[in-house]
Amino acid sequence: MKKLFRFLIAGGIGFVVDAGVLHLLLWFTPFGPFVGRAISIPSALLATWFLNRNFTFGRSDRSLAAEGFRYGSVGLTSALLNYALFSSLLVSEPTLKPIIALTLTSAAATAFSFFGYSRFVFRHRQNP
């Protein structure tokens, strides 16, 4: 339960990074929500990797490259799910504010991410 709570804190910070970058891009650049989200998601992924590695789960016993690859694999899959849902919401409901769509879709991707990170990325190998 402690890891889940820490994961939600790290995810909350990641959400703030995601939403903040998206908001800044929408406000200060000609990028629309689709391009903005393609930039904000990797920013949030980098922030959550650092937090999950150092605060939530601890470093895995794998090399940094192997851990990064595994984290990126789970993160990319979660991000694609998140982005597909985000895009679908905005296309099907054009009056929906992008920040609302981001909130809904981020919540939907949270369970997938926790399972993937805790079981595939940061799970420590058992000694035989």
Mean pLDDT by 10 residues, the chain (128 residues): 91 93 96 93 92 91 89 90 92 93 86 88 68
CA distance 23 to 25: 5
Separation of alpha carbons 44 and 88, rounded Å:
21
Residue 37 neighbours by CB distance under 10 Å:
25
CA atoms within 13 A on the CB side of 18: 28
pLDDT at 54: 93
pTM: 0.78
pLDDT of residue 126: 59
- Residue positions counted in the chain: 128
Q: What is the pLDDT of residue 107?
A: 81
Please report the pLDDT score of residue 50 as a whole number. Answer: 93
Which pLDDT belongs to residue 109? 86
